[in-house]
């Protein structure tokens, strides 16, 4: 195999010295991490390497020499460097040299141990691969190589070659703390040689985050304890809480906030990204909510909304009354059973009348209620949207009631019909055996059964029509609510921080690497440039999606149609109590 030397681009212009890095024998590759400059004392270099090895669990060693002839006038440096091979023995010993007058490098790798029978050291072909040390240090590879049984104290087994290299560079951060401009005994050159990177704001934020997190965590734990107390488990409150989506959303946000401000540090990059995503999501939510709040409270929009609300409710009720009058006549040319029609129609009309009176009763207070509810938008846009969804549910409560009445009636009719149909044919449902058995009926049973059957069947179109109309209305309301929930879900679960990172710092999220062959001359070693291949956006969203508390409809289309046909009630927004996070 060809010997692969991974060389950091930042060291390409460094002065001559020793190459320090890690040798991976399984892949025959040498990962060079830094260059030690002259003058140095070999004992101190070895001491430093031992320290780094202990601190980072990476087997750093001196791999060879680096000679930058373009900068030095004297030629005897070459002999000096060759002599160093005797002091720091490493097999193979690399000698990289950047020569004067040409852009191409010369590389030599000599093996001393393996050539005992030959007597002379054997050489090997070298392939140079340049990599950007800073980017490799900061990025993390997806999917992360799962090393079985790897803990902090153990040395890592070699996994796929690239994951290994990423790992090596990331874990050698200890080596990068000393620089060639420092006053220490050993002068190193690596990516920090261009200047140590730090930012005052980041450092201040890090110092301040400790006490702030403690304070907020304690406040949030108080809140969570209050909301989890036994008071909420009592019957009316728990029922209301399970039905309102606002409570669910608030609870969800509370959980997020307590996770963000928890005092334990993130164990791995995944958790860190999750925290960051949650924080950005909450901030965006609150920002949009405040925007909505400012829009609502300007120009007296609340007043306009409140004034428009009652006429709208009136209008809806009027339309419903027209609809019922239409149904009580001859809707779409169908002939209804006059008596049943009148009964059902009058029943529903009375309900609408009650509802209208209720709305009129509430109308003086609506503006105040809306004003206070609008204030809740400062908790976030998602909370405002959930409240909107709940208001729609409350305002269309009469439609829900009508749907339930119609569905129950229809359901009863269908079951009655199916059972009497069996009687008509002389069969019976056997509950014990869960199947249909033949049965001999008495004459009077048959007579009454057939009579009832015909009555029910002739009343079927009327009931079916009412059921159909109210089911369609209910489905319409459910669709509107569903769209609102979808929007809330989107805001909750979109990983904005990860997307922003992918946009601005694509090297942080790496899907792999890509190589580019650099200009080459015959007889010279091959030079490649290794760059980071960023993760595609779809993978970013898929990997870092936040778990949403959304109540997704659990029925498939087939079961939904079946339920509609048999008149069973559909509950699309069941709150999931056992949702795992």
Partner 1 sequence: MEDEKSFSDICGGRVVLRRRYYSPYCREFGLSSARLSLRSLTAVTCAVWLAAYGLFTLCENSMILSAAIFITIIGLLGYLHFVKIDQETLLIIDSLGIQMTSSYASGKESTTFIEMDKVKDVIINEAIYMKVIYYLCILLKDPGKPHEISQVVPVFQGYSEVLQASLYLKPWGEREDRYPFFETFSNLPGQWHSIYNTTVLLLHGPCEHLCTYTDTHKGWRYSLGGRSILSIVQGPGLVPSISPKLNRRLTLLRKIEK
Where along the sequence are the contacts to partner 1 (CB under 8 A)? Answer: 1-2, 4, 27-28, 125, 127, 129, 160-162, 512-515, 517, 520, 526, 528, 533
Where are the alpha helices (H) located in 140-199, listed in sequence order?
161-171
Indicate the residue among 3 and 370 with the shorter CB distance to partner 1: 3
Token code pair at residue 268: 């791995």
**Shortest spacing between CB 517 and partner 1, in angstroms:** 6
Q: Which residue has the tokens 């779809």?
A: 538
Q: Are strands 122-124 and 105-111 parallel, antiparallel or unpaired?
A: antiparallel
Q: How far is the CB of 529 from partner 1 (least distance, A)?
A: 12
Q: Whose Cβ is closer to partner 1: residue 406's or residue 534's?
A: 534
Instruction: Return the number of the residue (115 or 125) whose C-beta is nearest partner 1.
Output: 125
> Minimum distance from CB of 44 to partner 1 (Å)?
36
Structure tokens at 348: 């529903």
Q: Is 558 strand, coil or helix?
A: helix
* Minimum CB–partner distance for residue 126 and partner 1 (Å): 11
Q: How far is CA 120 from CA 48, 93, 207, 492, in A?
A: 32, 14, 59, 68
Closest to partner 1 by CB, 103 or 338:
103
Residue 44 or 520 having the CB closest to partner 1: 520
User: How many CB atoms are located within 10 Å of the residue 548 CB?
Assistant: 17
Q: What is the DSSP string of 101-156?
A: T-S-EEEEEEESGGGTTTSS-EEE-EEEEEE-HHHHHH-EESSPP--TT--TTSPP
Q: Nearer to partner 1 by C-beta: 39 or 148? A: 148
| Rg of the chain, C-alpha, whole Å | 38
- CA 66 vs CA 13, 19, 63, 71: distances in Å: 11, 6, 10, 12
Q: Which is nearer to partner 1, 47 or 514 (CB)?
A: 514
Q: How far is the CB of 525 from partner 1 (least distance, A)?
A: 8
Mind giving me the DSSP string for 410-430? HHHHHHHHHHHHHHHHTEEEE
User: Closest separation between CB of residue 513 and partner 1, Å?
Assistant: 6
Judge whether 78 and 52 are in contact, CB under 8 Å.
no
Min dist CB 487 to partner 1, Å, is 25
Pair 566, 525: CB distance under 8 Å = no
Choice between 19 and 128, CB closer to partner 1: 128
**C-alpha span between 289 and 373 (Å, rounded):** 12
Query: Minimum Å distance from CB 29 to partner 1?
Result: 9
Closest to partner 1 by CB, 42 vs 160, is 160
DSSP secondary structure code for residue 228 in this structure: T
Least distance (Å) between residue 523 CB and partner 1: 10
Peptide bond into 143 cis (omega under 30): yes
């Amino acid at each position: 195999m060809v010997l692969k030397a991974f060389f950091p681009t930042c060291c390409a212009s460094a002065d001559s010295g020793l190459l320090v890095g890690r040798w991976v024998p399984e892949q025959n590759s040498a990962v060079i991490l830094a260059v030690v400059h002259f003058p140095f004392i070999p004992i101190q270099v070895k001491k430093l390497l031992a320290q780094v090895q202990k601190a980072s669990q990476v087997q750093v060693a001196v791999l060879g020499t680096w000679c930058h002839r373009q900068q030095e006038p004297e030629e005897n440096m070459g002999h000096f460097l060759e002599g160093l091979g005797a002091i720091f023995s490493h097999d193979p010993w690399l000698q990289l040299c950047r020569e004067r007058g040409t852009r191409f490098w010369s590389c030599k790798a000599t093996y001393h141990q393996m050539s005992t029978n030959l007597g002379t050291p054997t050489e090997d072909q070298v392939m140079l691969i340049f990599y950007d040390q800073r980017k490799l240090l900061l990025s993390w590879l997806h999917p992360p190589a799962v090393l079985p049984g790897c803990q902090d104290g153990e040395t890592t087994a070699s996994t796929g070659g690239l994951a290994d290299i990423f790992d090596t560079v990331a874990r050698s951060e200890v080596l990068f703390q000393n620089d060639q401009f420092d006053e220490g005994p050993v002068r190193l050159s690596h990516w920090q040689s261009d200047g140590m990177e730090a930012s005052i704001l980041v450092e201040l934020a890090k110092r301040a985050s400790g006490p702030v997190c403690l304070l907020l965590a304690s406040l949030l734990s108080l809140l969570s304890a209050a909301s989890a107390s036994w008071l909420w488990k009592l019957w009316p409150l728990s029922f209301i809480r399970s039905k309102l989506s606002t409570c669910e959303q608030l609870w969800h946000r509370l959980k997020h906030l307590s996770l963000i401000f928890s005092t334990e540090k993130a164990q791995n990059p995944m958790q860190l990204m999750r925290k960051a995503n949650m924080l950005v999501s909450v901030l965006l939510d609150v920002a949009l909510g405040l925007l909505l709040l400012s829009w609502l409270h300007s120009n007296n929009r609340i007043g306009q909304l409140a004034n428009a609300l009652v006429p709208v409710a009136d209008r809806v009720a009027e339309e419903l009354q027209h609809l019922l009058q239409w149904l009580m006549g001859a809707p779409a040319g169908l002939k209804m059973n006059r008596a049943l029609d009148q009964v059902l129609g009058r029943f529903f009309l009375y309900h609408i009348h009650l509802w209208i009176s209720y709305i009129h009763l509430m109308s003086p207070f609506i503006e105040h209620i809306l004003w206070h509810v609008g204030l809740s938008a400062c908790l976030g846009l998602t909370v405002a949207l959930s409240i909107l969804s709940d208001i729609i549910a409350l305002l269309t409560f009469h439609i829900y009631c009508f749907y339930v009445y119609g569905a129950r009636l229809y359901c009863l009719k269908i079951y009655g019909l199916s059972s009497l149909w069996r009687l008509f044919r002389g069969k019976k449902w056997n509950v014990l055996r869960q199947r249909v058995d033949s049965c001999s009926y008495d004459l009077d049973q048959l007579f009454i059964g057939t009579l009832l059957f015909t009555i029910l069947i002739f009343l079927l179109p009327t009931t079916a029509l009412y059921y159909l109309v109210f089911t369609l209305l209910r489905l319409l309301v459910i669709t509107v609510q569903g769209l609102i929930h979808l929007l809330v879900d989107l805001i909750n679960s979109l990983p904005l921080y990860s997307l922003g990172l992918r946009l601005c710092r694509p090297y942080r999220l790496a899907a792999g690497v890509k190589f580019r062959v650099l200009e080459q001359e015959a007889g010279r070693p091959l030079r490649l440039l290794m760059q980071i291949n960023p993760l595609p956006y779809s993978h970013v969203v898929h990997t870092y999606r936040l778990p949403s508390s959304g109540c997704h409809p659990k029925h498939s289309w087939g079961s939904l149609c079946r339920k509609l046909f048999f008149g069973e009630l559909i509950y699309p927004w069941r709150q999931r109590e056992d949702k795992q996070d």
